[in-house]
Amino acid sequence: MVTTSTPPGVSRVDLARLTEHWAESRSLRGWFSTVDHKRIGRRYLVTAGVFFVLAGLSALAMRTQLARPEAGLLSPEEYNQLFTMHGTAMIFLFATPMLFGFGNYLVPLMIGARDMAFPRLNAFGYWVFLFAGLFMWASLPFGAAPNNGWFAYAPLSSEQHNPGLHMDVYALGLLFLGISTTAASINFIVTALKLRAPGMSLNRVPLFVWAIVATAFMVIFALPALNLDNAMLFLDRRFDTHFFDPSAGGNVLLWQHLFWIFGHPDVYIIVMPGLGIVSAVLPAFTRRGVVGYPLIVLSIVAIAIISFGVWVHHMFATGLPQLSYSFFSAASTIITIPSGLQIFAWLATMLLGRLVIRVPLLFVVGFIVTFVLGGVTGTMFALTAFDQQVTDTYFVVAHFHYVLIGGAVFPMLAGIYYWLPKITGRMYHEGLGRWAFWLVFAGMHITFFPMHLYGLFGMPRRVYTYASEPGWGGWNLVSTIGSYVLALGLLLVLVGVVHAVRRGRPAPPDPWRADTLEWATTSPPEPYNFPVLPRVHSLHPVWDERTAESTGEGATVDRILSEGRNTLLTSELDARVERPVPMPESTLKPLMLAAALLVLFAALLVAWYPVAAVAAVVVAATIAVWLWPAGPSRTSGVATP
């Protein structure tokens, strides 16, 4: 097993030198200028968690409004804004950023690197994410929040049908946020391909890293469609273009095609890292590797590819030719095969292993149960006739939440409890964690399972109230009670995290006897992650004695690395050593560029076009300063990228 003691051939002087090069200031300036992937990963997790709380409070307000017929807690305008911000925040400001937060913290540790490939770009992505989220949520107190649903269908999103700033906030906010998501995706791809520890060939890459990289590729190919949609919407609303105006030669279905070309892959963009978390957690609590590693990797790649051929799955009620529906119906059915393959691989792993029942494993089991139920209703939607019958009913809401809460939130919670000792250096309280699991599990099913029923009974979604005659009131009351149980469970998760940070007992480097490289470091890791970059000899390096022995061989290489703020560049396929590469130090440039972009988008929102022009010049100048060739680094003697 890999140890965290001082490796052979590495003296205290070497470690002191590494600390000097990699440690960052804890001052206020250091807080704003950090490029450490661990600090940035924690910020992603906390910020996305705050946006999750805001979106959750919006959901509780909506469920309270719907608890009884003809309730008056919210006006139609207030409900529409909360409804839209809830969906938009959960999809764009919570799910993907939260999972990318895990990726930011863990991918360099899992592959044996010292940081992300582009640390400054990493910091820039976080600041853009933070500012874009504030940009959108700040509109709510002024009554100007997006109000046309997270899908923003045309023509209801046009200026004619929806005046005011509401949908301008939506279009500009998502365009702004897209910069962050794109930057993070590029960073993940390059990091995983070029910074893996020597010997970590593609057949030894952890499944969580495979999932993050597949997600990053999906973002790169899917996001341009959404960006184009939002750019055209903003132009239609502000400058009287007619992309979505049929009377002037536009097409309202153009919005749906572009949106769902992004939107259906986005379901898997959200779920895929969650599947990776499950594959990372299981070995620690089954005491064996995940069954069928090559097949799981192939299924990840298959899901990423097939998901781009399923978008009309969301448009079966739009009047497109019936023949075209058959192709997308087939694709919607086929994509369940690689997903099912992973489910059976996890079940086989648990059956063949020696189970250790802890809170992370409970959330994994909860994920499997919930996600399978969501998958069953998903295959029902692949049938055109059934889809047309239940379109725009609460049956769709039930399916959607089973897939996203089951496929993303349950794995996230498993990941929080699993990696909390590594991130904080403290152990969580097992009793609190178990209570949190049962409340979340029960609350989720009490809330959303009845929606299948009153959806089949005809209750339409996207309504702020309803009459008493159809008999939906009782089921809605059950769902509302369930939502408060779910909220209580999530509150206990937060209490457990705070308790661990403040009073938890110190965590050892590897409390779970896990298999991946992040557990070969201290808890929490040192600024440089690894004193000696390991040489990997198997898929389970922490369980492999040869990896531990190879740290002595790596000491010679690390003396080169310890001469500056450097990490190793390795080949894409076999992870053979190529050369050391210098890494940039902390800087305020990412924050400055993100702030300039915030001013630019805010000026566009309120039509201060001269200010927007000045902000655009500042953005260009900041980029030029950022990319200006650097002089010799004070630590490495070579130019930093």
- Per DSSP, the three-state class of 566 is strand
**Residue 322 pLDDT > 50, yes or no?**
yes
420-435 confidence digits (pLDDT tens): 999 999 999 999 999 9
pLDDT at 565: 84
Ramachandran angles phi, psi of 427, nearest 5°: -90, 145
Q: Which of 237, 257, 240, 256 is nearest to 248 (CA)?
A: 240
- 216 within 8 A of 181, measured Cβ to Cβ: no
pLDDT at 280: 97
- 394 within 8 A of 426, measured Cβ to Cβ: no
264-276 confidence digits (pLDDT tens): 999 999 999 999 9
- Mean pLDDT, residues 632-636 taken together: 46
Distance CA 161, CA 601 (A): 23
**Residue 520 pLDDT > 60, yes or no?**
yes
pLDDT at 631: 58
Which residues, in sequence order, are CB contacts of 31 under 8 Å at separation 6+?
Answer: none
Better pLDDT: 626 or 637: 626
pLDDT at 316: 93
549-564 confidence digits (pLDDT tens): 655 444 444 555 656 7
143-193 confidence digits (pLDDT tens): 999 999 999 999 999 999 999 999 999 999 999 999 999 999 999 999 999
- 418 within 8 A of 426, measured Cβ to Cβ: no
- Mean pLDDT, residues 183-206 taken together: 96
Distance CA 627, CA 637 (A): 19
| DSSP codes, 571-598 | -TTT--EEEEEE-----SHHHHHHHHHH
Other beta carbons within 10 Å of 26 = 9
- 459 within 8 A of 480, measured Cβ to Cβ: no
Better pLDDT: 13 or 512: 512
pLDDT band of residue 498 (cuts 50, 70, 90) is very high
302's tokens: 């298959």
**Residue 641 pLDDT > 90, yes or no?**
no
Q: In whole angstroms, how far apart are CA 601 and each of 157, 478, 590, 605, 616?
A: 19, 42, 17, 6, 10
| Distance of alpha carbon 619 from the chain centroid | 27
pLDDT at 15: 78
Among 79-88, 230-239, 503-512, 624-633, the range scoring the smallest mean pLDDT is 624-633
pLDDT at 151: 93
pLDDT at 551: 53
Q: Which of 317, 307, 308, 313 is nearest to 328 (CA)?
A: 313
Distance CA 106, CA 41 (A): 8
**Residue 287 pLDDT > 50, yes or no?**
yes
pLDDT band of residue 1 (cuts 50, 70, 90) is very low
- Mean pLDDT, residues 115-138 taken together: 97
Distance CA 362, CA 294 (A): 26
- 506 within 8 A of 96, measured Cβ to Cβ: no
Distance CA 224, CA 228 (A): 6
- Mean pLDDT, residues 583-604 taken together: 96
**Residue 3 pLDDT > 70, yes or no?**
no
Please, what is the average pLDDT of the chain?
Answer: 92
- 511 within 8 A of 432, measured Cβ to Cβ: no
Model pTM score: 0.94
- Mean pLDDT, residues 334-342 taken together: 93
**Residue 252 pLDDT > 60, yes or no?**
yes
Distance CA 300, CA 614 (A): 45
pLDDT at 268: 94
pLDDT band of residue 104 (cuts 50, 70, 90) is very high
Distance CA 431, CA 553 (A): 44
pLDDT at 635: 42
Q: Which helix (H) or strand (E) holds 568?
A: strand 566-570
pLDDT at 561: 63
Fill in the DSSP letter of residue 471: S
User: What percent of the chain lies above the pLDDT cut of 70?
Assistant: 94
375-389 confidence digits (pLDDT tens): 999 989 999 999 999
